[in-house]
Amino acid sequence: MIPAHMDKFYINGAWVAPLSANRMGVENPATEEIVAEIALGSEADADRAILAARAAFDAWTVTPVADRIALVKRILDIYNDRYEDFAQVMSTEMGAPIEWARGAQAWAGQVHIESTIRAAEQMAWESMRGTTRIVYEGIGVCALITPWNWPMNQIACKVAPALVAGCTMVLKPSEIAPLSGTLFAQVCHDAGVPPGVFNLVHGTGPEVGARLSSHPEVDMVSFTGSTRAGTAVAAAAAPTVKRVAQELGGKSPNIILPTADLAAAVTAGVEGCFGNTGQSCDAPTRMFVPRDRHDEALAVAKAAAEAVVVGDPADSATTMGPLISKLQFDKVQRLIQAGIDEGATLVCGGTGRPAGLNRGWFVRPTIFGNVTNDMTVSREEIFGPVLAILPYDSLDDAVRMANDTPYGLAAYIAGPVADAQPVARRLRAGTVNLNYPAWDTFAPFGGYKQSGNGREYADWGIHDFCEVKGIVGWGA
């Protein structure tokens, strides 16, 4: 299904015609067919939305917290009613296998709204420190710029905490995967979000994104995307001294300890790398294994890769869909070829489409062994189902290589918890996962180094959208 209003923007509580005449087709990456057309906003469209958010801020930010939470609960109820619609549109716009779209993509939006509600209900919005009143209040008008790879995950992680914090906002979803964002705007409308509190404008990063980042009436930019684009957002925001929260790229290490169950750890590591067709910024894309078990690890990894079913996203048996676009397909092909050219061992996969697939941006699940830390496949974020396996001689060696990256979003360790814990303290990453745990939506999510700043999820995300005010002498 294609949501209504794809040719309009949601501004000040209504679906409005764009001021720009520019249009863009939305491609289903599994078929290369254009399934919808969206309006692309201009700077003037962004300005309209920003000014609507500014006009709504004063009333919304003094609305009682309980009422703001109640609104987010209504959004959750309607989201749940339309859960299957969200799964279907994300399968269409991303090529996500339908079972993955239901169990991961649509679920992520649901669970983050739930976690934000729970965190907001438990949060101490005001407290006393001596005679000073400490107050958390909304930072102001927020620009929310979200990616295509986890559409509802990132929209929910930004919109829900911004609403409960008392902020107003303009959302710019990725123009590559805009269907779910438009559907979410309709959910917000149906839930009764006051006019101007939530606004949506489609558009490109260089035009709408840049305007949102630089506009003097925007108080905060929350951006998820590539490190390259994140630096552009930060530069545009700097002259007006906005708060900028960024969740950017990653090249996450996965250390398989000598004491780990190698077969289980490697299999789970391959599955973690290949989930979402490898299009996750925190995917465990660099696997470190003891050198004396390197060949054994390659055999296990090859078997795990060969169990992946690449194909039609509508087929419930499919476990891997296509990449998002030709641009991404070409990038992944180039980086796979770089791995071959630089002398890594091609364990399975390689360039080209999988057998039997002659259209759609499908790639072959690919594993490289005997990778060294200076190879391109170990340095660059590939954003596709490509795993690099690196042998190590000692844990000190593994930790050194794991940290030798400009990124620091996530890291993984497999092995007995008592052995993994001291290693976890040494890894420079915002999230360290021990033994592939369940997704914890109350853990802080964000990166070190060039993986960004700020933290998302639950109360961590709410704090990012708040200013802290001290009213001195309140209790004198």
Active-site residue list: 247, 281
Between the alpha carbon of residue 166 and those of residues 34, 141, 343, 402, the distances in Å are 38, 10, 54, 40
Those residues whose C-beta lies under 8 Å from the C-beta of residue 59, and which sit 6 or more positions away, are 194
Distance CA 382, CA 388 (A): 11
DSSP annotation of 109: H
Residue 434 DSSP SS3: strand
Q: Where do runs of H (alpha helix) occur along 343-391?
A: 376-379
Residue 437 backbone dihedrals phi, psi, to 5 degrees: -70, 170
As a whole number of angstroms, the distance between CA 291 and CA 270 comes to 18
CA-to-CA dists, residue 24 to 35, 107, 202, 236, 311, angstroms: 11, 28, 10, 25, 26
Give backbone dihedrals phi and psi of 284, rounded to 5 degrees, phi first: -80, 85
Q: Give the CA angle between residues 363, 369, 372 to the nearest 5°.
A: 115
Q: Residue 127: enclosing H or E segment and its boundaries?
A: strand 126-129
Q: Are 398 and 389 in contact (CB under 8 A)?
A: no
Pairing between β-strand 286-290 and β-strand 253-256 as defined by DSSP bridges:
parallel
Read off the tokens for 280. Answer: 């996750």
Strands 220-224 and 141-145: parallel
Helices in 196-311 by DSSP H: which ranges? 210-214, 227-237, 262-274, 294-306
Is residue 321 a contact partner of residue 342, using CB atoms and an 8 Å limit? no
Alpha helix stretches (DSSP H) within 32-106 = 43-61, 65-81, 83-94, 98-100
* Residue 102 half-sphere exposure toward CB, CA atoms < 13 A: 8
Query: In terms of C-beta density within 10 A (0-12 exposed, 13-18 middle, 19 or more buried), how is residue 65 classed?
Result: middle
Tokens 């905060």 -> residue: 220
Please give the DSSP secondary-structure letter assigned to residue 240: G
Q: Cα angle at 153 between 147 and 156, to 5 degrees?
A: 105
CA–centroid distance for 49 within its chain = 24
